[in-house]
Amino acid sequence: MEDILRAAVFAWLNEQVNKIGAVLPGDMLRNGFVFRNERIPLISQSGIWKPKQFKSTPISITSKKDGPYFDTHTENGYLIYKYCGPDPDYRDNRYLREAWRTGTPLVYFYSHRPSRYIPFWPVKIVADNPETLSCTVDIQAASRIFSPEILSGASIVADAGQSLIMRKYAFAEVRHRIHQVAFRDLVLTAYKESCALCKLRHAELLDAAHIIADSEAGGEPIVQNGLSLCKIHHAAFDKNIIGVTPDYEVKVREDILEEIDGPMLKYGLQAMNGKTLILPKQKKDWPDKERLEKRYCLFKLVV
């Protein structure tokens, strides 16, 4: 029965991620869903959560960015998840130990800001470490949810007898995904899920564009390094068809302005020239002028 219920939890999460996106609201997870006339919450105040329908193993574990416990990872690509409190035999810690003993799959939630959660599943506890008040969690399989094409490539490496490389690669991908999903959530929230150029308000058609690429110095995943752009304007920004000055003025490349084509070119791109960027309500969330200056210099080189 528990296996069926756990599978139902995974299926429900998959449905919500497909419907809403990779970041789920806390109220939704606390409310959970109804299965066979019983409500199944997926999180609670405790980071280690076992609903009453489960006998001795949790359904989820949660890390919070600014939480009381410092969860980290090993060089081998495992998550080190901290016990609840200093007693290894505390009830919640026994739940973790039982999940390790039975090899039970869990959901791992990462909360990058209050009441916003990024889910990963299935994850498994592969070691219990009472001496360090922690357990070791393998989240390698969960990364397939987000990037099957990368993991399929990593599998080729594993077939060559280098499973450690695959695990480290997969874990790095999970960490990168967490940063990018959190970045998108922060940026789109700051811009009230609206394109900063054209005001489009369909979240599924919006991206968080980096001003400075995340691979470069200054490319941190913070709101001030981001712009909320629709997919067309994001692509135009990335390809230097559109630039933004440090004074938040939108510029369109000269050769694009001189083209003659259909209404998408005329109204979607050319009409943006000279407009002022639509900025977040909170000034602290406005794009960083120094980053814009650096990026605009690249745009001018192309022009």
- Return per-residue pLDDT of the chain as tens, 303 residues: 789 999 999 999 999 998 888 899 999 999 999 999 999 999 999 899 999 999 999 999 999 887 666 667 666 778 899 999 999 999 999 999 999 999 999 999 999 989 999 999 999 999 999 999 999 999 876 654 444 333 333 333 344 445 566 666 666 767 777 888 899 999 999 999 999 999 999 999 999 999 999 889 999 999 999 999 999 999 999 999 999 999 999 999 999 999 888 889 999 999 999 999 999 999 999 999 999 999 999 999 976
Report pLDDT for 5.
93
Report pLDDT for 167.
61
Q: Give the tokens for residue 264.
A: 């998408």
Q: Tell me the HSE value of 52 on the side-chain side, using a 13 A CA sphere.
A: 3
Residues pairing with 63 in the sheet:
110
Report pLDDT for 154.
36
Distance CA 257, CA 262 (A): 13
Give the helix/strand (H/E) hosting 12: helix 2-20
Report pLDDT for 224.
97
77: nearest Cα among 122, 126, 23: 126
Q: Please report the DSSP string for 19-81 in residue order.
A: HH-S-EEHHHHHH-EEETTEEE-S--SSSEE--TTSSSS-SEEEEETT-SS--EE-TTS-EEE
Whole-model pTM?
0.76
Report pLDDT for 66.
72
Report pLDDT for 78.
83
64: nearest Cα among 85, 89, 50, 43: 43
Report pLDDT for 111.
92
